[in-house]
Structure 1
Amino acid sequence: MLHPKQFPSTRIAFALSTLLIHSAFAQTQENSKSDDSTDNAIDLSGVVVYVGENQGILGMNPVLSQSEVGQGAINQTQMNIIQATNMATVLAKIPGVGMSGSPRPGGQTINIWGMNESKSVPIMVDGALKTFDKYRQGTLYVDPDLIKAVDVQKGGFDPSIGNGGFGGSVRMTTKDATDFLREGQSVGAMLKTGYHTNNNQRNYAAAVYGKNHANTMDGLIYFSKTLSKDVRLADHERYRGSAIDQYSYLVKSNLYLGEESKLTLSLNNTRYKGWMPFAAMGGNTINVNSMDDYEWKRRIFYRKQQDRSYSANFEYAPSDNPWVNLTVDLTHSETKQHDQKIKPQPGQKKPSASLSTLGKENWTAYRNTSLHIKNQSIIETGVVTQTITVGLQYLRKQQNATMFYDQGSYGKPEFNHGYFTPPFLPAGRQTVISAYVMDEIQLGQFTLTPSLRYDHVKNQSFGNVAGYTSTNAKDGHDYRSVTYQGFSPRIALYWQPIDQFAAFVDYSRSWQAPNIDEQYTVQGKGISGPNGTSRDLSKEKLSALRFGVMGNFSDLLTEDDQLFIRATAFHNRVNHEVIRKIGAIYCESHHATGNNSGCGKPMSAFHNGRGYTIKGLELEAKYESTYVFGGLAASLMKGQRRGSPRDVWYEQKTWLRDIPPRELTATIGFHVPQYHFSMGWQSQFVRKQTRTPSTIDAKAGVLSYQLTPGYSVHGLFMSYTPDDRYAPNINLTVDNLFNKSYAPYLNDGVKAPGLDVRLSISYQF
């Protein structure tokens, strides 16, 4: 049943009235023009759905190219329609990409082809790497309102990505002045407001932008503010700790240093504050009287969170020298959290606190600095064209964490009177120096692309207080640095016999080093279990295969229509998987006898398992024409581990936890070109999940997700984007149209939000 409070009728009525009044006014103007003008007005060839390349509702490119192999993309038009609160919601619209977690701010991780660790799915904003591995937190915090385009590469086939990227990579590009400036305009401004009915969310944004008369410089300043209450589930229960109080800004400038070079400078910043459980990804598990505000707040934290990045990108491509196409990227990013318990008044209970929930107060910061130098050279040798890409990279990833917890022995000098680094969130630095070369050899219909990458990785710990730095060798508190190095070869074959059809096959062998958490997590001295650092870990190794076909056809049913199809199969095999010993079998004798006394000391917190295999199939079809559009996307995956997550010597294979169930997404809609209006319906059909580690190994329940029934979810969207510079752009989206109660499998029992009507109105002048 739909409740009146869920619909801000005056706001929606205002939006629809504005749309209809402007449409009627525009039509009156059209009718008053001359016959010639009228003929031009109804010539639909000029108002086909494309808004530049890849800017339509379905994001279709006009021609087929090798860049579409393994690619998923979201453009500005789609971003405007989705009206997402977090970037994970945006990325989950791409086939083969999912999200885990909760509706809380910063409570989501990205899953590509069944892999969701941050090292397996690197995320970049304007080239700046974003990482955040704090326990039970999400990995991505940038405000979607600052982003204009998303490019996802699925699988570990990109030679510019090393020491990770097994699942793929995500590259996001922020807005700039050229996205707003109209032809002949030098200075402008934008205002936008939005409303979400589910959580009474109010969105406000403003921007100023401009360029100089010589067209050698442009700039943008963009500000966004979001306020909301807690998310409402389909059963009308509030998902506590999901309210938003956030602001963000973006400052960006392009400097054109002549006709052959450009420098782009960018700064983006997102800040959030609010009450939240220590585990943002957790469920609605704290059951207290909703009227007792203090009883709720004493169990959680007041969180201040900041995510920002700086980037400088230089491009130099002299037109008379095909050997030089140089790009240099210098970036820095940081994500910080400060959690603090509420201070009780006289007579009130003390706030709940423990070591495992990060104490009474904690500070966490992840900082990444990178330099990437790349050059492309084109060499013509008769019938063969070679494009040789050479790259050099430097990356420094640093993480720091401090908590305050002074209860019991933790308040003694041995633990610095309660101020120390959490043993499960160690502080340290990973430095990566890399070089790669790629040779794209085009011979007629075939393109063969071999590549080779070298990475040198050094992990360094910043140590810990005396309580976690035992001098007893049996405790294994060895914080010395560890180095890894090696090559990653890749090869790709692309065959395009005609403009409308192509086939492809890619193979790669790559590796990734353990991260700081895996290498230096410890427990206190004298513990009988695995309490030492894990300096003896081997590299994880990936053998990946991807193959498929794709086609791009036009003028099939009507003039100027387009059909894109793509089928992609993949097979990923990982060896020496890094696994933590949680509720686990610690060694082979422990597996054989059930007794861990034979494991010896020291005993590391992590060890290498035998590995796992993930294979899958993606099928996609998109159709776009002057009046109608539609799409289908199906994703099927299967993943098995050799052994069990709690026992790497387990005799049977077990299902991988992070593999989503089968999914089909269908989209259908229509355009009214003369009014610049589009409307569509989208449905998502998800199969029940019957595979998780505990399905085979019943003792692996704590390392498994809850099994889920199948479900279908439906939504509507409408978009009004007039050419008239004085008219507003209006987007209306309805998510979970029938208020379906369901919990996506990757959310581990966390229910999805209920019905949500989203409205945004923007105006440029």
Structure 2
Amino acid sequence: MSMQYPLLRFAILAALSMSAQAASTDDTSVPKEIETVKVQGEQLKHPITLISPGKSTLELDDIQREQAHNIGELVMKMPGVSLDGGARPGSERINVWGFSHPSALSIRVDGAPVGFQQYRYGSFFLDPQLLRSVHLIKGDHNVRASLGAFAGSFVMETKEATDFLDPDSSIGAMAQAGFNSVNHQWKRSVTTYGASDSGWSVLLHGSRRDADDIELGNGDVFTFSGYRQHSLLGKVRYQSDAHNMMFSHTRYDDQGRKPWANRRGAMPSVTPYKIKKYGSYDAALYAASVDNHYREYTSTLNYHYQPYNDYIDTRGFNCEVQHSRLQPDITC
């Protein structure tokens, strides 16, 4: 009996080897035809713009297509950028790679640094309808950014007359109007622009937004979210031969009743004690809010001289005079 087990093992191994050889020589395991895969594509009508990682750009067509209500809503279309804040105007903060504190971001409009810091309030006020381009450099990689802006830097440029004029035109005007049913907002704007053969161009733009409180999806009203906004842009540019000069002035005016902490969500509940304390429900609700009035003025004067010389390059040097002022007016 002890001799039968090795013989049995040898017989099993021989049978497995013969079956493996038969399977390897079977023609059915080899495909008779190679499947054909067809790939169809469409040629792009515009060239592809390649940029380095960490950079994003919004051009004039992108800004006009989005029709954003505020800067935060516009730039959140960029990768790595989100909106940190509520639905009330003046409560938005821009979040880049997880950083939203104003000191971690550098924001410039036509070269002038802008920004605002106050507890539980937004950090940036500007009508996105005034812009022609937005460039974002994520991280601390911009030598012109403010010290400590390790989250990123935004470089924004306002509109110019050449953005609207046809090649054979020297003057023009445009009017726009819009309505949003969610907060009964009316938006109106007028733009006039002109350019001469001598190198001068001028643009004047004014817009106004009037909105009531936002109506939520469940039918409730988002209290103290209405506002009145006025924006103004004036821009003059002279470009001739080696000289390039630009003067721009922007004004932003926002007024509306807001909570003490503007970035909060729903208003605090009104208790019977507060009603008794202030005399009525409306008075108790008003006690948790303030009448905010923001006025921001930004003026920039840039001059750039670039001679026609192969050995002189002044593209990295601009003469800039900047002035930005934010005047908040908070009334209880």
Q: TM-score scaled to structure 1, two decimals?
A: 0.35
Which residue number corresponds to residue 53 of structure 2? 69
Q: Kindly indicate whether residue 320 of structure 2 is the aligned counterpart of residue 329 of structure 1.
A: yes
- For 1:156 and 1:140, the matched residues in 2 are separated by 20
Q: Kindly indicate whether residue 246 of structure 2 is the aligned counterpart of residue 264 of structure 1.
A: yes
Which residue number corresponds to residue 177 of structure 1? 161
Deviations along 1:303-323, one digit per CA (max 9) or x if unpaired, are 111122001111111121442
Which residue number corresponds to residue 77 of structure 2? 93
2:70 touches 2:127 (CA, 8 Å); kept in 1? yes
- For 1:331 and 1:155, the matched residues in 2 are separated by 24
For residue 49 of structure 1, report the CA deviation from its aligned partner: 5.2
Q: Kindly indicate whether residue 269 of structure 2 is the aligned counterpart of residue 287 of structure 1.
A: yes
Deviations along 1:61-102, one digit per CA (max 9) or x if unpaired, are 6343xx533111222222222211110011111111112111
2:202 maps to a residue whose letter is: G
For residue 246 of structure 1, report the CA deviation from its aligned partner: 0.6
Q: Which has the larger radius of gyration?
A: 2
Deviations along 1:179-223, one digit per CA (max 9) or x if unpaired, are 1111111111010011122111110000111012x2410000000
Deviations along 1:646-697, one digit per CA (max 9) or x if unpaired, are xxxxxxxxxxxxxxxxxxxxxxxxxxxxxxxxxxxxxxxxxxxxxxxxxxxx
Cα 1:209–1:303 shift into 2, 3 Å: same
Secondary structure class of the residue paired with 1:119 = helix
The 5 A counterparts of 1:605-684 are none
Cα 1:63–1:187 shift into 2, 3 Å: same
Secondary structure class of the residue paired with 1:207 = strand
Which residue number corresponds to residue 215 of structure 2? 232
The 5 A counterparts of 1:60-209 are 62-64=48-50, 67-209=51-193
2:84 touches 2:95 (CA, 8 Å); kept in 1? yes
Secondary structure class of the residue paired with 1:270 = strand
- For 2:108 and 2:143, the matched residues in 1 are separated by 16
Cα 1:168–1:209 shift into 2, 3 Å: same
- For 2:286 and 2:49, the matched residues in 1 are separated by 55
2:259 touches 2:267 (CA, 8 Å); kept in 1? no
2:85 maps to a residue whose letter is: G
- For 1:78 and 1:241, the matched residues in 2 are separated by 31
- For 1:68 and 1:307, the matched residues in 2 are separated by 34
Cα 1:246–1:162 shift into 2, 3 Å: closer
- For 1:293 and 1:302, the matched residues in 2 are separated by 15
- For 2:208 and 2:193, the matched residues in 1 are separated by 18
Which residue number corresponds to residue 317 of structure 1? 306
Which residue number corresponds to residue 302 of structure 1? 291
Q: Kindly indicate whether residue 221 of structure 2 is the aligned counterpart of residue 221 of structure 1.
A: no
Structural RMSD (CA) = 2.0
The 5 A counterparts of 1:239-638 are 239-256=222-239, 258-288=240-270, 292-325=281-314, 326-341=317-332
Following superposition, which runs of at least 4 residues in structure 1 exceed 4 angstroms of deviation?
Answer: none
Cα 1:63–1:105 shift into 2, 3 Å: closer
Q: Percent identity?
A: 26
1:274 maps to a residue whose letter is: G
Secondary structure class of the residue paired with 1:253 = strand
- For 1:293 and 1:262, the matched residues in 2 are separated by 56
- For 1:148 and 1:294, the matched residues in 2 are separated by 44
For residue 298 of structure 1, report the CA deviation from its aligned partner: 2.9
Cα 1:313–1:49 shift into 2, 3 Å: farther
2:100 maps to a residue whose letter is: N
1:315 maps to a residue whose letter is: H
Count residues in correspondence. 281
Which residue number corresponds to residue 15 of structure 1? none
1:314 maps to a residue whose letter is: Y
Secondary structure class of the residue paired with 2:318 = strand
- For 1:284 and 1:84, the matched residues in 2 are separated by 23
For residue 332 of structure 1, report the CA deviation from its aligned partner: 1.2
Deviations along 1:335-388, one digit per CA (max 9) or x if unpaired, are 2211111xxxxxxxxxxxxxxxxxxxxxxxxxxxxxxxxxxxxxxxxxxxxxxx
Secondary structure class of the residue paired with 2:226 = coil
- For 1:63 and 1:101, the matched residues in 2 are separated by 32
Secondary structure class of the residue paired with 1:122 = strand
Secondary structure class of the residue paired with 1:77 = helix
- For 1:254 and 1:182, the matched residues in 2 are separated by 17
2:260 touches 2:288 (CA, 8 Å); kept in 1? no
The 5 A counterparts of 1:700-715 are none
1:157 maps to a residue whose letter is: H
Cα 1:297–1:322 shift into 2, 3 Å: farther
- For 1:162 and 1:244, the matched residues in 2 are separated by 31
Deviations along 1:465-510, one digit per CA (max 9) or x if unpaired, are xxxxxxxxxxxxxxxxxxxxxxxxxxxxxxxxxxxxxxxxxxxxxx
Secondary structure class of the residue paired with 1:241 = coil
Secondary structure class of the residue paired with 1:311 = strand
Structure 2, unpaired ranges of 5+: 1-41, 272-279
2:223 touches 2:267 (CA, 8 Å); kept in 1? no
- For 1:220 and 1:298, the matched residues in 2 are separated by 43
- For 2:59 and 2:238, the matched residues in 1 are separated by 24
1:245 maps to a residue whose letter is: R
For residue 288 of structure 1, report the CA deviation from its aligned partner: 4.1
For residue 265 of structure 1, report the CA deviation from its aligned partner: 0.3
1:62 maps to a residue whose letter is: I
- For 1:144 and 1:233, the matched residues in 2 are separated by 24
- For 1:307 and 1:78, the matched residues in 2 are separated by 25
- For 2:252 and 2:53, the matched residues in 1 are separated by 33
The 5 A counterparts of 1:5-20 are none
Structure 1, unpaired ranges of 5+: 1-43, 51-60, 342-765
